[in-house]
Structure 1
Amino acid sequence: MTKDMTRDIAAMIGSRICHDLISPVGAISNGVELLAMSAGDTSAELSLISESVDNANARVKFFRIAFGMASQGQMTGRQEMVSILKGLETPRQTYDWQPTTDMLRDEVKLACLMVMCIETALPRGGAIQISSENGQLQVTARSDRLDPSPELWARLGAVSTPDGLKPNEVQFILAPLQADLLGRRICSQDDAGALRLMA
């Protein structure tokens, strides 16, 4: 099996899982909204459920882009990404999608995988900024504590095997694969209080 076939099968699995999850999560969201309207209930419990459902909805949409299939020439809207990332925010972590125009889905996919990589270096959360200038993607994290794993970061520069990786580190295989597909290479930069991935 070739590298391209393996990547395509993984993307198809990602698309299928996210496709099957998005409808029930959306239905739960609608149900919580109707319950609040009919009962006039604005309790802390219902608010917590609503926030959790909104976060799950945003996370599935994010995973659908990061792990799913991207048709050739398919575009992803700027507002869609702003909305998805807003749904992922927590009191400890924020996201800032800076590109002002729609982008090719393949590029957005790479950006999402790079975001997932950089999130692993933020044990206390932080601010993540995504930008695209002169054909280069940049994902920058700022935090009072940055803790990138040297073993994981070493994988970003080239396509590697999954040996030694945990399931929650799969982005460190997929990000270099996606960069390779686009004819790019991921590199990192570590400044005082800021960590940057570029491709």
Structure 2
Amino acid sequence: MTQSPLTIATLVGSRICHDLISPVGAIHNGIELISIAGPIDSPELTLIADSVTNAASRIKFFRVAFGNTVGEQMVGAPEAAKTAADAFAGGRSAVNWQANGDLPRAEVQAAYLAVLCIESALHRGGTITVTGDDHGIRVTGEGGRVACEPELWQPLATGEVPEGLRPAHVQFALLVMAVAELGRTLSTATRETDVSISF
């Protein structure tokens, strides 16, 4: 049986995230062992502890966004919200997950990919809000300056995979394929201070 391009891409994503989380987890455990002997009050150890926490949070988010979805796996709203919020904690943008109820993992994946697309347009950061339910999702980004690159957003608006993608923008291609797999229609709206993706 021939695997779809989306399946191959997400299998690669799952493999990379799986291999990365083990060493990051080992470093985190090491920091916890050090903290047992006394509080972590040196700048060096604090930096390492914060970096490991941030790395683990991003990997967990990427595991859903870029990883393989199997069957009818469901993701609870609290877990989806925490994973997204933790991944962007301390960054220029914040994610506010307001989607209702548990959602299929494939739908959460598409929402996370939309979050990454919108993050790329918020050059000065902002707030990214996810609303909706298992009948439809809307992801909106608001910030002081929205800059949507036409070569990425014009194809997205028509459900086409953008050409000549750079690694930083692979989420645009995967979003198109993920939404198609859901049997949904992708739509976008871009303005000066906000941008949204719906499916």
Please confirm whether the aligned pair reaches a TM-score higher than 0.5, indicating the same fold.
yes
Amino acid at match of 2:48: I
Amino acid at match of 1:193: T
Q: Name 1:22's counterpart in structure 2.
A: 21
Q: Is the 8 A contact 2:189 2:196 kept in 1?
A: yes
Between the aligned partners of 2:188 and 2:8, the Cα distance in structure 1 is: 28
Q: Name 1:49's counterpart in structure 2.
A: 48
Between the aligned partners of 1:44 and 1:60, the Cα distance in structure 2 is: 24
Q: Name 1:109's counterpart in structure 2.
A: 109
Write the deviation string for residues 40-69 of structure 1: whole angstroms up to 9, x where unpaired. 332233222222111111111111111111
Q: Name 1:95's counterpart in structure 2.
A: 95
Shift of 1:133: 4.3
Q: Name 2:31's counterpart in structure 1.
A: 32
Q: Name 2:159's counterpart in structure 1.
A: 158
Q: Is the 8 A contact 1:65 1:112 kept in 2?
A: yes
Structure 2 SS opposite 1:24: helix
Matches within 5 A, 1:3-22: 5-22=4-21
Unmatched runs of 5 consecutive residues or more in structure 1: none
Q: Name 1:146's counterpart in structure 2.
A: 146
Structure 2 SS opposite 1:140: strand
Shift of 1:159: 3.3
Shift of 1:153: 0.3
Write the deviation string for residues 96-155 of structure 1: whole angstroms up to 9, x where unpaired. 111242110010010011011111101111111111147111111111111111110012
Between the aligned partners of 2:84 and 2:38, the Cα distance in structure 1 is: 30
Q: Is the 8 A contact 1:54 1:87 kept in 2?
A: no
Amino acid at match of 1:55: N
Between the aligned partners of 2:133 and 2:78, the Cα distance in structure 1 is: 18
Between the aligned partners of 1:7 and 1:190, the Cα distance in structure 2 is: 26
Amino acid at match of 1:95: V
Shift of 1:194: 1.8
Segment of structure 1 superposing worse, 18-27 or 83-92 = 83-92
Structure 2 SS opposite 1:33: helix
Unmatched runs of 5 consecutive residues or more in structure 2: none
Using the aligned pairs only, state the percent identity.
Answer: 41
Q: Is the 8 A contact 1:77 1:102 kept in 2?
A: yes
Between the aligned partners of 1:168 and 1:51, the Cα distance in structure 2 is: 24
Q: How many residue pairs are counted as aligned between the two chains?
A: 197
Segment of structure 1 superposing worse, 91-100 or 18-27 = 91-100
Shift of 1:80: 1.8
CA RMSD of aligned residues (A): 1.9
